[in-house]
């Protein structure tokens, strides 16, 4: 499995660069790392609102929320989510939150 070394920490990642160990391996250092690769200048309150919601939802349901729930609960339309996370709700926001990539007919 590929590993990422970032600021003295090592993270195992899958082929898409998602945190292989999921939430168990997630920490703020990971957020910092995803910020860099996503080209996000500063992780602000709006990013944290997304990350916190995604993690809470995942803990309760074992999956990422559908985009429409994500959008409605945070109050951010999809366009805004793309502004916050240039790779989008899945490959940007879910990655930062330490969630796995959704698979299936999606």
Size of the site for other proteins (CB under 8 A): 18
Point out which span in 3-11, 25-33, 42-50, 62-70 binds other proteins (CB under 8 A). 62-70
Q: Is 24 in the site for other proteins (CB under 8 A)?
A: no
Residue 79 found at the interface with other proteins (CB under 8 A):
no
Place of tokens 């600021």: 7
Instruction: Determine, following the binding rule CB under 8 A, whether residue 75 of this chain makes contact with other proteins.
Output: no
Helix (H, G, I), strand (E, B) or coil at 34: helix
Cα–Cα distance for residue pair 36/26, rounded to 1 Å:
16
Q: Respond yes or no: is residue 94 known to be catalytic.
A: no
Q: Can residue 103 be called a binding residue for other proteins (CB under 8 A)?
A: yes
Judge whether 58 and 100 are in contact, CB under 8 Å: no
CA 93 centroid distance within chain? 3
Near other proteins by CB under 8 A, which window of 3-11, 25-33, 44-52, 55-63?
Answer: 55-63
User: Could you tell me the two tokens for 78?
Assistant: 């999809």
Residues with a catalytic annotation lie at: 105
């Amino acid at each position: 499995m590929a590993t990422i070394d970032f600021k003295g920490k090592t993270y195992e990642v899958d082929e898409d660069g998602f945190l292989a160990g999921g939430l168990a391996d997630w920490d703020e250092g990971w957020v910092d790392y995803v910020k860099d690769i996503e080209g996000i200048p500063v992780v602000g309150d709006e990013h944290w609102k997304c990350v916190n919601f995604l993690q809470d939802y995942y803990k309760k349901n074992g999956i990422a929320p559908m985009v429409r729930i994500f959008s409605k609960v945070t109050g951010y339309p999809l366009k805004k989510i793309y502004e916050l996370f240039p790779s989008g709700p899945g490959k940007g926001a879910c990655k930062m939150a330490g969630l796995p990539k959704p698979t299936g007919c999606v």
